[in-house]
Amino acid sequence: MNGLMMQQPLLISSLLVHAERHHGEQEIVSRRVEGDIHRQSFRELALRSRRMANALAALGVRDGDRVGTLAWNGHRHMELYYAVSGSGAVLHTFNPRLHPDQVVYIADHAGDSVLFFDLTFLPLVEAIAPRTKHIKHFVAMTDRAHMPTASKLDKLLCYEELLEAQNDVYDWPSFDENQASSLCYTSGTTGNPKGVLYSHRSTLLHTFGIALPDALNCSARDTILPVVPMFHVNAWGLPYAACMVGAKMVFPGPGLDGKSLHELFESEKVTLSAGVPTVWQGLLAYVEGNGLKFSTMRRSIIGGSACPPAMIRKFAEVYDVQVLHAWGMTEMSPVGTAAVFKTKHLNATQEERYAVMSTQGRAVYGVDMKIVGEDGQELPWGTQTSGDVLVRGPWIVQRYFRDEGGDPIVPDAHGVGWFPTGDVARIDADGYMQITDRSKDVIKSGGDWIGSIDLENIAMAHPAVAMAACIAAKHPKWDERPLLVVVKKPGVEVTREALIAFFDGKIAKWWTPDDVVFVDAIPLGATGKMLKNRLREQFKDHTLPTA
């Protein structure tokens, strides 16, 4: 027997409709590329999103078409979040830090028909435009006064002009909640980035999940400044959560240095922020160096890489800011766990509480989680044994876009499918997860991935290199940086400097390995695969050059 409740699909547009009706006066503040601080209300967000939906239709964007963005965190980007997905098209956020070759690959793979971009990225867009196959329209996210006077792009469109040409009457269409809403590429262990295609349903359920008090705890009393970019897994879902709960949003645009961020925290009375540890390091250094405090910021969500326990302590003891350590990944929309207390911790000692806060946390409802051993058998919780972390749930990826990389799902003995995260962790008796290693061969530098296989392929093309492995080495600022481990061909010489110089022009500069070590042999597994876990262990205390 079916229940007798209304059938209403979970659609992203419903968040905007709710925000306009119930939180219309709430503010969105953006530091823009043009240099000003812009303010608008949720009412204006809704109105401008409707105009943009009309503009997209006028550009020929239809249901399911992919619309790309190369943009910082800002109100126009948020308008596109709602206009593109709300109208039935798919919002595809690009990471502008990628090498132009990868941007071209991703644009072609996604099949984007329109690309919106912030002025900062004009040179990048001009460089890739002639090489992409499907993009018909390029739109600069600015007004007429700031449009570039000389651009290599044919018929460059202006965002504000597109809006002005439209009226704000637009009925958000209703469709199946499983329809695709947005697309974000992740660099996997193979060379090519893989697309994670979110649906309206997965996005809405994730938004409910993260807004909960024991997850990211967002409310109408919060002023949220996401430092985490809107091009990286939808800024952890915060632009959606803000509309769901009616929180004020503050967008930092391109100003991610300590001074610009601290100014906004103070002037806009930010209460909650979110970012990777590297960003907080920069911010803390600035605040410390200038004898400043946070007057209103009380909670900072830190994830993307392990948050150092010393940072949690400093935030709490010096700045009265509570760190919320969280874990997730692009394939998980992204939030999976959050390090929040249970009743039993309320009377715990401060040291015990810090220990809980330093774990990656416990599962948010909607994410089921387990650890397995090498034989695929589930491992018990509450022991010191680590295993591969597998997850399942309504906001976890099932397959990658265009089936890139094949079927990632691992079935258990009952045929239930689990997604292998590539993280290795132990889980304590209370369900708190502690990541101990990573089985995937990627390097995470300041929150952005570096593909180790790309680096190895380049190194292997050097005439003196017999074998090369690239692993993550600990770095005080960037958390991880690439370390190249090389076996030389017999009788051939090459220096560390020459090998590093060999990467020039072949990859984005920040992907270049920080250091090279020469070894006699690289450990290999039974199938001839390099045992990078072994190498990571061997070089875990390697000190990278700081210059």
Q: Which residues carry out catalysis?
A: 186, 331, 444, 449
**Closer to ligand AMP at the Cβ: 205 or 306?**
306
C-alpha to C-alpha distance for 53 and 59, rounded to whole angstroms: 10
User: Which of 180, 435, 459, 516 lies at the binding interface for ligand AMP (CB under 6 A)?
Assistant: 435
Nearest C-alpha neighbor of 433 from the set 350, 348, 334, 367: 367
Q: Is 397 in the site for ligand AMP (CB under 6 A)?
A: no
Q: Is 369 in the site for ligand AMP (CB under 6 A)?
A: no
Q: Is 303 in the site for ligand AMP (CB under 6 A)?
A: yes
Nearest C-alpha neighbor of 81 from the set 200, 217, 259: 200
Kindly indicate which of the ranges 107-115, 214-222, 301-309, 372-380 contains the residues binding ligand AMP, using the contact rule CB under 6 A. 301-309
**Closer to ligand AMP at the Cβ: 282 or 303?**
303
C-alpha to C-alpha distance for 28 and 444, rounded to whole angstroms: 31
How is 118-152 classified by DSSP, letter by letter? -GGGHHHHHHHGGG-SS--EEEESS-GGGS-SS-S
**Closer to ligand AMP at the Cβ: 439 or 538?**
439
C-alpha to C-alpha distance for 520 and 397, rounded to whole angstroms: 40
Q: Is 114 in the site for ligand AMP (CB under 6 A)?
A: no
**Closer to ligand AMP at the Cβ: 32 or 362?**
362
Yes or no: say if 297 and 265 are a contact pair by the CB < 8 Å rule.
yes
The site string for ligand AMP over 222-241 (x = CB under 6 A, - otherwise) reads: -----------x--------
Dihedral, CA atoms, 236, 308, 194, 525, nearest 10 degrees? -150
CA angle 440, 442, 443 (to 5 degrees): 135
Q: Is 278 in the site for ligand AMP (CB under 6 A)?
A: no
* Coil vs helix vs strand at 272: strand
Q: Is 186 in the site for ligand AMP (CB under 6 A)?
A: yes
User: Which of 226, 304, 366, 408 lies at the binding interface for ligand AMP (CB under 6 A)?
Assistant: 304
Q: Is 330 in the site for ligand AMP (CB under 6 A)?
A: yes
**Closer to ligand AMP at the Cβ: 246 or 366?**
366
Terminal alpha carbon distance of the chain: 68
Nearest C-alpha neighbor of 58 from the set 155, 142, 167, 182: 167
Q: Is 306 in the site for ligand AMP (CB under 6 A)?
A: yes
Q: Is 323 in the site for ligand AMP (CB under 6 A)?
A: no
Positions 25 through 64 that interact with ligand AMP (CB under 6 A): none
Question: Distance between alpha carbon 44 and the CA centroid of its chain, in Å?
Answer: 27
Rule CB under 6 A: which residues touch ligand AMP?
Answer: 186, 233, 303-306, 325, 327, 329-330, 334, 360, 421-423, 435, 438, 444, 449
